[in-house]
């Protein structure tokens, strides 16, 4: 065996990363066992009527506070093949930087019109679109004054594709000090959305985020 | 989009930490119990029902709360429900083999059936962890009381000590009759279990 598995790195100023990051190098998988490491996720359904529109809790309810944005892009594998019918699970903090999650105990206000979770599927060309409220940054480490930059969590699953990532915003002051962004180095740029104008729809601006599911583990290309 | 010139591939989107707030409302009870098909359907997957009880521990022995755990396994006859096996007569129509749950505390219970051994492999379940502070990490667990462990190529690529860390132990039966297996998944530090690299291939 000439090569070795990756050595994972610990996110600077991230206590949880220090607690949970494996210290040993990842082990290589014998070729004969690789198939067993490629989960194939069954198709699942949507749960809410307007799962694609996080800017309001239901179609007949008022819009949440803050800047309404459209996020759209193409989902593809490393070979550029579009991935259709994949589910994107989306969650982000409200305009003020608070999650409506039972374990988010911060004092930042909730927004009575914002749930902050949604799901969409990619179409036959791998394209997806959803609306949400541009999230607030929040103070992750009050003791050292480190903020989490504005970000939207996106989990992609469907068939042989599996990825959990975060979409970041351009020119945000807190991007540079984010532990995960630091670990990504120059590659961080690929997780920043590209702004576009949205004159004809009921949102303030758009953010393009093309997603490439990497890894030779995604052995099934649908 | 910039391409990876060397292999003519697109550069992948970076994986990122799931953070502490994976929405609990994304949970699906059917993905936490593969021993039943869908509620109200008269159908049962083939195989021996088991409950895998696990603890996710950090380098200080504390439970890794808020972690998303995914499972992937073959059916009782050792066949994965993937495109490679489409049309295989040993596919169990009532069993897919993909499970997912979010553990609030760091302890979990996953109901499923004992995966069958298949060509050269002992019974195993692939476990993927998405936790705050890290990106996806992957391992595979085995069952101490099942046959084939001594010749499994993945287990045999590890030291005896590491093999033991990936072996779930049979610890009695639940009231419903399912066999209970337990495993401690230590993510970092002294008793850290082996995790595997599914991005880098042997010999590359
Ligand atoms: Fe977050």
Confidence of residue A94 (pLDDT cuts 50, 70, 90): very high
Rounded Cα–Cα distance for residues A141 and A211 (Å): 29
Number of structural domains (chain A) is 1
Identify whether B155 is part of a domain. Answer: yes
Q: Reduce the DSSP state of residue B73 to 3 states and report it.
A: strand
In whole angstroms, what is the distance from residue A217 CA to residue B112 CA?
A: 24
Confirm if B153 and A30 have CB atoms less than 8 A apart: yes
| A189 against B7, higher pLDDT | A189
Provide the pLDDT for residue B204.
67
Is A1–B202 a contact, with Cβ atoms under 8 angstroms apart? yes
In a domain, A66, yes or no: yes
In a domain, residue B66? The reply is yes
Task: Classify strands A151-158 and B49-57 as parallel, antiparallel or unpaired.
Answer: unpaired
B199 inside domain: no
Any domain includes B54: yes
Domain for residue B113, yes or no? yes
In a domain, A217, yes or no: yes
Residues 73-132 of B with CB under 8 A from A: 74, 80-84, 96, 98, 104, 120-121, 124, 126, 128, 130-132
pLDDT of residue B8: 81
Q: Flag whether A154 is in a domain.
A: yes
What whole-number distance in Å separates Cα of residue B82 and Cα of residue A34?
A: 13
> Which residue's structure tokens are 């929040």?
A138
Question: What Å distances lie between residue A157 and A43, A154, A216, B93, CA to CA?
Answer: 9, 10, 16, 21
- pLDDT tens figures, A29-66: 999 999 899 999 988 777 677 899 999 999 999 999 99
Q: Is residue B3 part of a domain?
A: no
Residues A117-173 have pLDDT tens digits of 999 999 999 999 999 999 999 999 999 999 999 999 999 998 888 999 999 999 999
Question: Do residues B53 and B109 make contact, with C-beta atoms less than 8 angstroms apart?
Answer: yes
Low-confidence ranges of chain B (pLDDT < 70): 1-7, 204
Is B15 inside a domain boundary?
no
Q: Tell me the pLDDT of chain A averaged across its residues.
A: 93
Question: B28 and A44: CB-CB below 8 Å?
Answer: yes
Instruction: Please judge whether B17 and A166 are an interchain contact, meaning their C-beta atoms are less than 8 angstroms apart.
Output: yes
Please give, rounded to a whole number of angstroms, the shortest distance from the CA of A202 to a CA of chain B: 26
Which CATH number covers residue A128? Answer: 2.60.130.10
A35 Cα–ligand 1 center, Å: 32
Kind plus residue range of the DSSP H or E element containing A196: strand A194-196
The complex scores an ipTM of 0.93
Report chain A residues whose CB lies below 8 A from the CB of B20.
16, 103-104
For residue B111, tell me if it sits in a domain: yes
Task: Assess whether pLDDT exceeds 50 at residue A218.
Answer: no
Tell me what pLDDT residue B125 has: 98
Give the residue numbers spanning the domain of B110.
Answer: 42-186
What separation in angstroms does the CA of A140 have from each of A102, A145, A147, A174, B184? 17, 8, 5, 11, 29
Q: Which residues surround ligand 1, an ion (CB under 5 A)?
A: B 19
Domain with A80, as residue range(s), is 41-221
On chain A, the residues whose CB falls within 8 A of the CB of B12 are 78, 190, 212-215
pLDDT of the residue at B1: 46
A1-15, A73-87, B53-67: which is most confident: B53-67
Whether residue B16 and residue A164 make contact (CB cut-off 8 A), yes or no, is: yes
Number of domains, chain B:
1
Q: Is residue A206 part of a domain?
A: yes
The token pair that represents B63 in the structure block: 């439970």
Given a cut of 50, is residue A215 above it in pLDDT?
yes
pLDDT above 90 as % of chain A? 85
CATH number where B55 lies: 2.60.130.10
């Amino acid at each position: 065996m000439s090569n070795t598995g990756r050595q994972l790195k610990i996110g600077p100023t991230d206590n949880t990363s220090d607690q949970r990051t494996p210290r040993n190098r990842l082990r290589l998988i014998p070729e004969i066992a690789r198939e067993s490491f490629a989960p194939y996720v069954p198709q699942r359904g949507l749960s809410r009527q307007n799962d694609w529109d996080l800017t309001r809790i239901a179609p007949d309810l008022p819009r949440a506070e803050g800047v309404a944005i459209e996020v759209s892009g193409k989902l593809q594998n490393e070979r550029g093949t579009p991935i259709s019918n994949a589910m994107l699970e989306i969650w982000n903090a409200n305009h003020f930087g608070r999650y409506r999650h039972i374990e988010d105990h911060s004092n930042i206000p909730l927004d009575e019109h914002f749930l902050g979770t949604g799901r969409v599927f990619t179409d036959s060309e791998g394209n997806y679109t959803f609306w949400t409220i541009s999230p607030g940054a929040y103070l992750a480490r009050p003791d050292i004054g480190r903020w989490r930059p504005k970000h939207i969590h996106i989990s992609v699953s469907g068939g042989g594709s599996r990825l959990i990532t975060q979409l970041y915003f351009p020119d945000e002051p807190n991007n540079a000090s984010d532990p995960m962004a630091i670990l990504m180095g120059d590659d961080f740029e690929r997780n920043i959305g590209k702004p576009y104008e949205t004159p004809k729809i009921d949102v303030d601006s758009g953010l393009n985020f093309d997603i490439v599911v990497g890894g030779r583990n995604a052995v099934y290309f649908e | 989009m910039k391409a990876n010139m060397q292999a003519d591939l697109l550069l992948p989107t970076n994986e990122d930490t799931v953070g502490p707030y994976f929405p609990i409302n994304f949970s699906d009870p059917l993905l936490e119990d593969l021993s039943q098909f869908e509620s109200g359907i008269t159908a049962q997957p083939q195989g021996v029902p088991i409950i895998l009880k696990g603890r996710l521990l950090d380098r200080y022995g504390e439970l890794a709360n808020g972690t998303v755990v995914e499972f992937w396994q073959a059916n009782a006859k050792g066949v994965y429900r993937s495109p490679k096996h489409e049309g295989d007569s040993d596919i169990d129509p009532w069993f897919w083999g993909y499970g997912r749950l979010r553990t609030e505390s760091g302890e979990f219970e996953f109901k499923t059936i004992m995966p069958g051994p298949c060509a050269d492999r002992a019974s195993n379940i692939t476990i993927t962890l998405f936790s705050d502070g890290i990106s996806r990490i992957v391992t595979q667990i085995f069952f101490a009381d099942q046959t084939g462990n001594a010749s499994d190529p993945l287990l045999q690529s590890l030291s005896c000590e590491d093999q033991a860390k990936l072996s779930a132990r049979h610890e009695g039966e639940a009231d419903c009759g399912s066999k209970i297996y337990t495993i401690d998944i230590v993510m970092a530090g002294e008793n850290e279990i082996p995790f595997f690299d599914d991005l880098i291939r042997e010999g590359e």
